[in-house]
Amino acid sequence: MSDINPYAPPQATLESDAFQHGNTVDGAAALNAFIGPRSAYYLAKWDAMQGKNTSWNLAAFFLGAFWLVYRKMYANAFISIGILVAFHVFENILDIPASVGNIANLVMAVMIGRYGNYLYKQRATKEIQEVIQSKGLTQSALSEIAQRGGTQLGAAIGFAVLFLALGVGITFMLDPGASM
């Protein structure tokens, strides 16, 4: 009988010297602290990526920029929304059919769904490395890692409200006679 537990979560590793200070450092603790309660899901996804930069994330596909904000990837969220807003403004100015805009939305959703786990892994690695390089892997470092990571439901809700207000504002700006 094998000593390997097939139900154990995958071993967490980061490709970094920050985890090799001459003594054994537990990278799994840092990753678990950063990700939070869903760490088993993300560690399994990242382990399965094996050098690739894609894997599928259904929540990222359906929620898009809101998922990015929820996972505290604010710059990525604003970039994706900026691209879509710019596209839709030009769509209205140039009188492009709405079906083209729907295709653009779908393409953005697929891109976020396909690369979301990779973007999240990159962010986790960067944030953890910064903390460990400045503090080492101490209990206070794990607390800071947890604070930098995790989720932010309030920010995602606020972003959704802002997005809705922006959508309504752009609609009325481009078509002042529009009604809700």
Tens of pLDDT, residue by residue over 65-74, are 999 999 999 9
| Residue 179, domain member (yes or no) | no
User: Is 8 among the domain residues?
Assistant: no
CB 125 within 8 A of CB 15: yes
| 108 part of a folded domain | yes
Give per-residue pLDDT as tens, 9-54: 545 455 444 443 333 347 888 999 999 999 999 999 999 998 899 9
Q: Is 10 within a domain?
A: no
Q: Comparing 126 with 13, which gets the higher pLDDT?
A: 126
Residue 66 lies in a domain: yes
Tell me whether residue 9 is in a domain: no
In this structure, is residue 49 part of a structural domain?
Answer: yes
The answer to the question of residue 57 being in a domain is yes
The residue range of the domain holding 134 is: 17-174
Q: What is the largest CA-CA distance in the chain?
A: 74
* pTM higher than 0.85: no
Q: How many domains does the chain divide into? A: 1
